[in-house]
Amino acid sequence: MTANNKSKIKLLILWDILSRNTDENHAMNTDEIIAELAKRDIPATRKVIPSDIATLNAYGYEVLTYKKKFHYYYVVNRPFDMAEIVMLADVIKASKLTGTQKKTFVEKLCTTLGGYGTANVCKNMISFDNDKRGNSSIIYNADAIERAINENRQISFLYFDYDKHHEKVYRKDGERYTVSPIIMVWNRDNYYMLCFSERHDNIITYRLDKMDSVKIESTERIPRKEYADFNSEDYRKQVFSMFGGETKNVTLSFQKDMLSEIFDKFGSDIKIKEYTDEYSVTAKIQVSKTFYLWVTGTQGKVRIVSPKDVTTEFNEFIAKIKESY
């Protein structure tokens, strides 16, 4: 690198050094800064450092200073504090990425957004098994979906389950799914794509870690008003584990000690009707096996009241379970 080029990037490197190595409790003096710059083959002198710091401040990169025996400099304002970084790291750790990808992401998170000591603290957080169940293609799937949404294009993909040997088994005998993506959402440790399916004439949900060979198509998305005003939070409240059944208005009756769980499932803005011994609620629910399993798991504390086709299907679901024992 020429001396001229080194001079041009010096301020960027100086800011990087201060951002990574200082906070309100850990400042760097002039000699320490010069030593760090030297490690990156950037020459500097005691006389120049204060001027460089002043330039950073003039352009909005706030560096604070105080003087004891020497001048000390440090950075305080950051996009995230340590607690927020830990929370973001926990989200990454809970994802379906591979162990290697999780480790790489958390390390980037810590070194990019944190200050002094963040990297060391993050080392204590980075403890991942080499989880072979993770899907390394999640990142690429998410990127393709986001680009398709921005370009108003459809996507196609393969969708799979796992067999007992944890080998992929593609649904529809390997036939590609073609849909119009709307948005991606995070729910219960999984990343999902919400999309409009022309085949089903409805909004369908797919898990990103079960998608394979995602391709952006040349065809535009099927025109739908949902693209502009889609409320992912309202939709999330309808969905049980994002299983993706048909959405219906379902009335449930439930015992009073289930009230907190009902609010957890459907949100605090639902309308509850109170009776002598129980409550009832009507909510939009994606009717699916996951929903039926949840009702069954309440051991009679939640009952499906209507509509009739849902109660009939639920009774058939229970009958099949009984037959297997």
Q: What percent of the chain has pLDDT over 70?
A: 77
For the segment 66-88, what is each residue's pLDDT rounded down to a tens digit? 988 889 999 887 666 666 776 67
Q: Specify the range with the lowest mean pLDDT, choosing from 62-66, 108-112, 215-219, 270-274.
A: 108-112
pLDDT-based confidence at residue 178 (cuts at 50, 70, 90): very high
Length of the chain: 325
Predicted confidence at residue 221, as pLDDT, reads 92
CATH of domain 246-323: 3.30.70.240
Show me where the domains of the chain are located: 3-74, 82-125, 138-230, 246-323
Is 3-74 a domain of CATH 1.10.260? Answer: no
For the segment 17-66, what is each residue's pLDDT rounded down to a tens digit? 888 888 777 899 999 999 999 998 898 898 999 999 999 999 888 899 99
Instruction: Report the CATH fold assignment for 138-230.
Output: SH3 type barrels. (2.30.30)
Nearest to residue 208, comparing CAs of 96, 92, 288, 88? 96
Tell which wins on pLDDT, 102 or 14.
Answer: 14
Secondary structure of the chain as H, E, C letters: CCHHHHHHHHHHHHHHHHHHHCECCECEEHHHHHHHHHHCCCCCCCCCHHHHHHHHHHCCCCCEEEECCCEEEECCCCCCCHHHHHHHHHHHHCCCCCHHHHHHHHHHHHHHHCCCCHHHHHHHHCCCCCCCCCCCCHHHHHHHHHHHHHCCEEEEEEEEEECCCCCEEEHHHHCCEEEEEEEEEEECCEEEEEEEECCCCEEEEEEHHHEEEEEEEEEECCCCCHHHHCCHHHHHHHCCCCCCCEEEEEEEEEEHHHHHHHHHHHCCCCCEEECCCEEEEEEEEEECHHHHHHHHHCCCCEEEEECHHHHHHHHHHHHHHHHCC
Residue 310 · residue 251 · CB < 8 Å: no
Predicted confidence at residue 162, as pLDDT, reads 79
Predicted confidence at residue 132, as pLDDT, reads 42
pLDDT-based confidence at residue 207 (cuts at 50, 70, 90): confident
Alpha carbons 306 and 282: distance in angstroms, whole number: 9
Q: What are phi and psi of 74, to 5 degrees?
A: -160, 160
Tokens 């008003």 label which residue? 225
* Cα angle 59, 60, 62; round to 5: 120
pLDDT at 320 over 60: yes
